[in-house]
């Protein structure tokens, strides 16, 4: 009996190893993995972790800019900002839906966020003090998000990759309108240019942290790259972002808050000074300046949305009952 059990365990192990090898071969061949396909449990968990953190980032990311909708300097600026913040809400919804295809419900993911148990991007714990911050967020935060998300359009998991295609199109528009705000300020009065410089001074280093810890400390990069969830390392993407962004800042006539920023003529890359990883860890651990406000705002929105959820559930129940009755009658 005992040896029969052992033999069964061995057979199960061999079957698992065969499935895992087949799975990796599909990944290596650039096949897309779809929700009903077999996948290792760790692949599923990694995706739920990353996609849900990404969804939370979009939803919490609505708050710093939402703060300026009522104070936008013109009707045109207000319309563009309103649309941008709505786009971010939409991105959050596609991402929660992508996570749902992996078996995580939106309710449980939202509960984790509201309970303070889920991570979201460190960048959204910084305050938006002036209108120039709205320009800096579009230019730099969306710019960093695009740099990170373009490779995610080729992620091995189909629903995430497909969601990213639309998200990237919208983020590109956000990035351009942010840069245009910065350009307008930089071509405006000396006070406006000073506002733009101040925004760059405050947002530059936190934006570099968006790409995650240095490669030597990234826990998940190796596995995520093996599974083609990530295509580049954190440092690799950070460098691409710096190389693309520094000339844009110089075109604006702005100075980056990094005295060590230098172009290496041989490689064409911009080398930079040390990133304050202690600040990053503190913010990720919940010690960011706006962390408590951000969660309080999400909790309030969730409570105030209770009646909408109730109405939607009542509507769905009524439709289901009607459908069941018409089937019975037929
Ligand atoms: N903030 O081992 P790694 C946006 C965590 S969307 C907070 O390197 P991984 C749009 C990481 O989760 C911005 N936590 O992890 C927008 C992990 O924690 P865990 C969000 C961070 O997953 C624009 C631990 O550190 N974008 O901006 C951060 O391989 C404007 C170890 O790190 C995405 O989420 C951070 N900055 O790489 C909205 C893109 N960095 O789970 C509004 C998708 C790392 O072990 C306005 N995500 N951590 O507890 C990714 O590409 C990856 O998840 C990384 C991290 C690159 C963020």
pLDDT in tens, 201-256: 999 999 999 999 999 999 999 999 999 999 999 999 999 999 999 999 999 999 99
Cβ atoms of residues 227 and 30 within 8 Å: no
Give per-residue pLDDT as tens, 124-137.
Answer: 999 999 999 999 99
Test site for ligand 1: of 49, 53, 122, 172, most ligand atoms within 8 A of the Cβ: 53
Q: How far is the CA of 262 from the centre of ligand 1 (A)?
A: 27
Identify the pLDDT of residue 6: 56
Query: Separation of 213 CA from ligand 1 center, angstroms?
Result: 9
Distance in Å, CA 246 to ligand 1 centroid:
22
Q: How far apart are CA 168 and CA 199, in angstroms?
A: 24
Determine if ligand 1 sits within 6 Å of the CB of residue 175: no
The whole-number pLDDT of residue 11 equals 73
Q: Please work out whether the CB of residue 50 comes within 6 Å of at least one atom of ligand 1.
A: yes
pLDDT, residue 13, reads: 77
Q: Provide the pLDDT for residue 12.
A: 74
From 42, 45, 47, 50, mutation site for ligand 1 pocket: most ligand atoms within 8 A of C-beta? 50
Structure confidence at residue 16 (pLDDT):
83
Mean pLDDT in order along the chain per 10 residues (330 residues): 61 84 97 97 98 98 97 97 98 97 97 97 98 98 98 98 96 97 98 98 98 98 98 98 98 98 96 98 97 98 96 96 92
Ligand 1 atom nearest the C-alpha of 221 is: 29
Q: Which of 98, 96, 121, 97 is nearest to 110 (CA)?
A: 96
Q: What is the pLDDT of residue 182?
A: 98
Structure tokens of 101?
């295809």
Hey, what's the torsion of the CAs at 137, 151, 221, 261, to 10 degrees?
-50
């Amino acid at each position: 009996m005992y040896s029969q059990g052992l033999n069964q365990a061995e057979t199960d192990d061999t079957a698992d190893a065969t499935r895992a090898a087949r799975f990796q071969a599909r990944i290596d061949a650039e096949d897309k993995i779809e929700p009903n396909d077999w996948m290792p449990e760790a692949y599923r968990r990694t995706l739920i972790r990353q996609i849900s953190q990404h969804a939370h980032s979009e939803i919490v990311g609505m708050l710093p800019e939402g703060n300026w909708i009522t104070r936008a300097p013109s009707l045109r600026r207000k319309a563009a900002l309103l649309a941008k913040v709505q786009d971010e809400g939409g991105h959050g919804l596609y991402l929660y839906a992508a996570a749902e295809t992996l078996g995580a419900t939106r309710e449980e993911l939202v509960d984790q966020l509201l309970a303070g148990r889920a991570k979201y991007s460190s960048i959204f714990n910084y305050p938006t003090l002036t209108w120039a911050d709205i320009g800096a967020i579009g230019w730099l935060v969306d710019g960093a998000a695009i740099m990170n998300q373009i490779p995610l359009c080729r992620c091995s998991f189909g629903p995430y990759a497909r969601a990213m295609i639309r998200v990237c199109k919208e983020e590109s528009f956000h990035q351009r309108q942010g840069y245009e705000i910065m350009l307008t300020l930089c071509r405006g009065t000396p006070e406006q240019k000073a506002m733009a410089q101040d925004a760059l001074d405050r947002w530059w280093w936190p934006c570099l942290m968006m790409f995650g810890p240095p490669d030597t400390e990234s826990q998940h990069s190796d596995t995520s790259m093996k599974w083609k969830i990530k295509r580049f390392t954190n440092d690799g993407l950070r460098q691409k972002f710096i190389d693309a962004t520094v000339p844009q800042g110089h075109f604006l006539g702005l100075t980056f808050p990094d005295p060590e920023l230098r172009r290496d003529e041989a490689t064409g890359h911009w080398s930079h000074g040390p990133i304050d990883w202690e600040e990053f860890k503190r913010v990720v651990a919940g010690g960011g300046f706006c962390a408590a406000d951000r969660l309080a705002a999400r909790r309030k929105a969730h409570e105030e949305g209770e009646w909408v959820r109730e109405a939607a559930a009542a509507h769905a129940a009524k439709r289901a009952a009607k459908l069941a009755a018409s089937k019975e009658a037929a």
